[in-house]
Amino acid sequence: MLERAVARIREETSLEPRVGLVLGSGLGGVAEEVAERVVVPYADIPGWPISTAIGHAGRLVLGRLGDVPVAVMQGRVHLYEGVSPEHAVFGIRVLGRLGVETLVVTNAAGAINDSYRPGMLVVISDHVNLLARSPLVGPNDERLGPRFPDMSDAYDPALRALAREVADRLGLETAEGVYGAWLGPQFETPAEIRFMRLIGCDLAGMSTVPEVIAARHMGIRCLGISVVTNMAAGIAEGKLGHEEVLEVGARTEPRLTALLRELVPLVAEL
């Protein structure tokens, strides 16, 4: 199936992307800046899962950012949509097969760390997988990677340092933190957030972790950037809603886009 998907994309372009990007809910702006772009709707790619989430365009954009050939996933599926973990990472494996060496993953997240604020960009330093599942469960495909991949430095230290350096240069405030992956789709309870804080999570979100596991399995270097869209349940007053996540995401998206525009061409050289 991977091969069929790659062949279908190759019918549209001979571009060999070096950097892959995954753009989360309402965070798709940088895809509009890709030059010499070829757009392939996910629905046209055999085997590619289709997202049901609001704010997810669902297409692959291939082209150049700066001089660097990139493949941008504009929209992703989440495990809470009911897809299997293996199916959820299909796109990441296709990017790997297309030649991507570095993956930049973005997401919207709730802040557990109370020094964060909505609208902040947080570079992910590590994750805790609270999904209780992995895309690597089942017989291992040795052509993709090893049975027991290492997950130390899953979020590449040099890429993290570069991301923060570029953000500083642009005058964008960033922090670093641990991302806790929550299955959802319901937000966490305040008690669950207290538990996540206790085990070392700074951020709560419902994506990214399966993608990074699949990418590390293939030896792809990863960088993760969260847009803080809300304080997590019980961290601040008030109720949580998807509208707030989309609204703050949309407001913050230009800053994320500014960062990615500068960062992605440099990432390829690292």
User: Which residues are part of the catalytic machinery?
Assistant: 25, 56, 78, 80-81, 108, 206-207, 230, 242
Task: Return the closest-CA partner of residue 172 out of 107, 259, 96.
Answer: 259
Question: Which C-beta is closer to ligand HPA: that of 17 or that of 180?
Answer: 180
Contact yes or no for 255/126 (Cβ under 8 A): no
> Rounded CA gap, 72 and 97, in Å?
14
Partners of 233 in the β-ladder: 236
Partners of 127 in the β-ladder: 179
> Rounded CA gap, 104 and 106, in Å?
7
Stated as kind and residue range, the H or E segment containing 159 is: helix 157-169
13 binds ligand HPA (CB under 6 A): no
Question: Of residues 27, 70, 105, 108, which one binds ligand HPA by CB under 6 A?
Answer: 108
Question: Which C-beta is closer to ligand HPA: that of 12 or that of 80?
Answer: 80
Stated as kind and residue range, the H or E segment containing 215 is: helix 209-217
Question: Which C-beta is closer to ligand HPA: that of 19 or that of 231?
Answer: 231
Question: Which C-beta is closer to ligand HPA: that of 40 or that of 245?
Answer: 245
Smallest gap, in angstroms, from Cβ of residue 256 to ligand HPA? 14
Question: Which C-beta is closer to ligand HPA: that of 229 or that of 257?
Answer: 229
Identify residues 179-238 at the interface with ligand HPA (CB under 6 A): 182, 187-188, 204-206, 229-230, 232
Smallest gap, in angstroms, from Cβ of residue 49 to ligand HPA? 19
Amino acid at 106: T
- CA of 22: how far to CAs of 62, 194, 238, 239, 264, in Å? 12, 29, 30, 28, 12
Tell me the backbone φ, ψ of residue 89, rounded to 5 degrees.
Answer: -100, 10
> Rounded CA gap, 267 and 165, in Å?
12
- Number of residues forming the site for ligand HPA (CB under 6 A): 14
Binding mask 119-158 for ligand HPA (x = CB under 6 A): ----------------------------------------
Which residues contact ligand HPA by CB under 6 A? 108-110, 182, 187-188, 204-206, 229-230, 232, 240, 245
